[in-house]
Amino acid sequence: MKFFSTFSMTPEKVLLSRALNYGDGVFETIRVVKRQIPLFEYHTKRLKSSLQRLGITPPDTKEIHKRIIALADKNTDCIAKLVVFRKDYHRGYSSQSKECDYFITINPISSSRLCNQLTVSSVKLSRSKTLAGIKHLNRLEQVIAANELKNSDYSDAIMTDGRNIIETTSKNIAFIKNNKIYSPKLNNSGVHGVALSWLEDWCVENSIEFKWKKIKSIELSDYQAMMTCNSVQGFSLIKNVDNQVQFSHKSPIADKIKSSWSQLFKF
């Protein structure tokens, strides 16, 4: 693993880090292809917006781009993880600091298990308008939900807030019905993913209606097709949920989305 950090990784700095102690920061998981970062503008837009909400001054994103490219291998694809957190190494929840520190790690893309079937997680997402949409460092709900799947036939699960569908353990969700795209509302829970932001723009460019909607688990069968998406793995059609609710495995719109997405990473 290759890495870069803006701070010296002494035991004191690491052990007093607000990222480690309080989760006071955010992270981006960035796909890099032959030293190109196709979705970098989407990542930086979310990064700046999220840090602003946390009261942290964003880092120089041009410098981050340079650091990632310098660490990446020119011949292979990899994943850059950027963790940005409040620069303050004193104890206590409260902090007057608005400055940030960050580190970048580079790892090869690992082969992922095909995920075209989902279950519904028993873990419920917290509702918080303050944190909704942010990819913050507090991921305990996702950790517990992912651990719940370890001895099951599923590699991913739908997560709800106890009322409505929000996302899966690591991806956003998009439903297709009558040539329109519907995505669960993220105003109270969940992460507003980069792939989903790209999909919103793609729909505008292709004159396809995109709607945010409250969607309950009992309404799954109302939709013709279902996709999950994130910035690393792209878009996948889902066959069924709990082997009960079935979705079409063929969708012209989904095919167009997947084709446009794959073109982003061809260099």
Inter-helix orientation angle 194-205/252-264, to 10°: 110
pLDDT band at 267; cut points 50, 70, 90: confident
pTM of the prediction? Answer: 0.96
Residue 101 bridge partners (DSSP)? 85
Domain housing 245: 117-264
pLDDT of 159-173, one tens digit each?
A: 999 999 999 999 999
Burial of 224 (0-12, 13-18, 19+ CB in 10 A): middle
133 lies in the same domain as 221: yes
137 lies in the same domain as 257: yes
> How is the chain split among helix, strand and coil, in percent rounded to 5?
30, 30, 40
State the Cα–Cα distance between residues 154 and 195, nearest whole angstrom.
22
State the Cα–Cα distance between residues 136 and 27, nearest whole angstrom.
6
Number of domains in the chain: 2
Mean pLDDT over all residues of the chain?
A: 97
Helical ranges in 149-245 per DSSP H:
194-205
59 lies in the same domain as 143: no
229 lies in the same domain as 188: yes
Inter-helix orientation angle 194-205/40-54, to 10°: 120
Residue in the block written with tokens 């693993």: 1
Task: Tell which of 56, 83, 108 closes a domain.
Answer: 108
Residue 107 bridge partners (DSSP)? 79
pLDDT band at 101; cut points 50, 70, 90: very high
Whether the predicted pLDDT of 106 surpasses 80 = yes
pLDDT of 125-154, one tens digit each?
A: 999 999 999 999 999 999 999 999 999 999
